[in-house]
């Protein structure tokens, strides 16, 4: 089991001078999705909500939800985004009170995919990942209202749900603020970050069940795991909110800092609040890094999948840096863009 201590946060492998930025004017680009064409996609909380499309030149276009069907909670507050074959998106809806997974089409039409689990309404929903069988793995960070009540070391109300064959059911619960999840390349393992339990957890996927829950890594003071991606060599890359850290966890164990933009005074302030049970929105809503703005996600893309793109909670651009290892090729990377190809034509 890997563990990274606060002392190790002082030794990143990549300096902040290597970070560049893509796009401008984005609105809460928490989760970045990359495509082999060079297009990037991210949530957008402008107006009715939807997805931002960032072209290779950095130009930004918005696909915002229009004329929603009855039953759709508006505005859409996409947190996790998944690109589908043919150019539609799955959105994990982090509504004020409601959640669910919605489908957004390139023309702005939207529809409900699932809004219930085990017959009960889904709370505000954090992330969605699709597997090759068309099943959806859905994370809910907390069932508490307001959500900040679970910014605690003893958080345990999060869960993972599986949408399959038109039904959604909870397949793992009592998780410590469930955040991004990731399917292994062969889809035999599901990894998930438990942000406030400060651990990376793995499950074996057995049919439609999750079994053999185990801890892959535990994180110490200053680290709050959020985003999750896999490298070509099987190492896992984890992003930490608050500390603006990217951490690499090799297959053979250990843990190392790749990138860091943490302000020590800010980290100490947040850490004291977290340990005492007083952490709240003000501790997440301040961007204390020199360049990074509360990074929350990492997506490999670009030539050879050697560019790491960073989603964030508080910035209006996508940060990027050249990674010494290539990312694993995600299933959506070569998806047919359908009508989304127009954003490439606009470049020409």
Which residue range(s) make up the domain with 35? 10-345
Q: Could you tell me if residue 174 is inside a domain?
A: yes
Residue 79 is classified by DSSP as E
Strands 2-4 and 209-219, sheet pairing: parallel
* Residue 144: alpha-carbon gap to chain centroid: 20
One digit per residue, the tens of pLDDT, for the chain of length 348 reads 555 554 455 567 899 999 999 999 999 999 999 999 999 999 999 999 999 999 999 999 999 999 666 678 999 999 999 999 999 999 999 999 999 999 999 999 999 999 999 999 999 999 999 999 999 999 999 999 999 999 999 999 999 999 999 999 999 999 999 999 999 999 999 999 999 999 999 999 999 999 999 999 999 998 999 999 999 999 999 999 999 999 999 988 778 899 999 899 999 999 999 999 999 999 999 989 999 999 999 999 999 999 999 999 999 999 999 998 999 999 999 999 999 999 998 776
Q: Is 277 exposed, middle or buried (0-12, 13-18, 19+ CB in 10 A)?
A: exposed
Q: Could you tell me if residue 298 is inside a domain?
A: yes
3-state SS, 85-154, equals CCCCEEEEECCCCCCCEEEECCCCCEEEEECEECCEECCCCCEEEECCCCCEEEEECCCCCCHHHHCCCC
Going by C-alpha positions, the residue among 85, 9, 28 that lies closest to residue 297 is 28
What local confidence, expressed as pLDDT, does residue 271 receive? 95
What local confidence, expressed as pLDDT, does residue 216 receive? 95
For 304, the token pair is 């050879």
Q: Could you tell me if residue 340 is inside a domain?
A: yes
Q: Could you tell me if residue 1 is inside a domain?
A: no
Instruction: In whole angstroms, give the CA distance from residue 266 to residue 243.
Output: 9
Q: Could you tell me if residue 142 is inside a domain?
A: yes
Q: Could you tell me if residue 70 is inside a domain?
A: yes
Q: Could you tell me if residue 4 is inside a domain?
A: no
Going by C-alpha positions, the residue among 182, 273, 305 that lies closest to residue 236 is 182
Residue 9 is classified by DSSP as G
Per the structure, the count of domains in the chain is: 1
Residue 46 sits in a domain whose CATH number is 2.120.10.30
The pTM is what?
A: 0.96
Q: Could you tell me if residue 2 is inside a domain?
A: no
């Amino acid at each position: 089991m890997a563990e990274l201590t606060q002392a190790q946060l002082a030794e990143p492998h990549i300096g902040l001078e290597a970070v560049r930025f893509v796009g401008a004017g984005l609105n809460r680009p928490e989760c970045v999705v990359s495509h082999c064409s060079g297009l990037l996609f991210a949530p957008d909380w402008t107006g009715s909500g939807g997805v931002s499309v960032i072209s290779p030149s950095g130009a930004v276009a918005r696909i915002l939800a229009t004329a929603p069907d009855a039953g759709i909670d508006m505005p859409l507050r996409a947190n996790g985004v998944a690109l589908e074959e043919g150019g539609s998106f799955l959105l994990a809806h982090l509504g004020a009170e409601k959640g669910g997974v919605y489908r957004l089409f390139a023309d702005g039409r939207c529809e409900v995919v699932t809004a219930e689990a085990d017959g009960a309404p889904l709370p505000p929903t954090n992330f969605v990942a699709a597997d090759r069988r068309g099943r959806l793995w859905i994370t809910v960070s907390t069932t508490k209202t307001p959500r900040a009540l679970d910014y605690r070391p003893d958080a345990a109300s999060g869960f993972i749900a599986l949408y399959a064959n038109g039904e959604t059911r909870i397949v793992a619960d009592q998780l410590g603020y469930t955040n991004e999840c990731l399917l292994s390349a062969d889809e035999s393992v599901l990894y998930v970050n438990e942000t406030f339990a400060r651990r990376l957890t793995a499950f074996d996927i057995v049919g439609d069940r999750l079994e053999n829950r185990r801890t892959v890594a535990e994180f110490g003071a200053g680290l709050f795991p959020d985003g999750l991606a896999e490298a070509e060599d099987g190492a896992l890359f984890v992003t930490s909110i608050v500390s603006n850290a990217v951490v690499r966890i090799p297959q053979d164990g250990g843990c190392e800092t790749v990138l860091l933009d943490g302000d020590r005074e800010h980290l100490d302030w947040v850490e004291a609040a977290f340990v005492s049970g007083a952490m709240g929105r003000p501790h997440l809503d301040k961007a204390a890094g020199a360049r990074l703005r509360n990074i929350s996600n990492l997506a490999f893309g670009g030539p050879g999948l050697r560019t790491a793109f960073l989603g964030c909670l508080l910035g209006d651009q996508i940060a990027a840096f050249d990674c010494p290892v290539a990312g694993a090729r995600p299933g959506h990377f070569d998806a047919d863009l359908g009508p989304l190809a127009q954003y490439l034509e606009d470049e020409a």
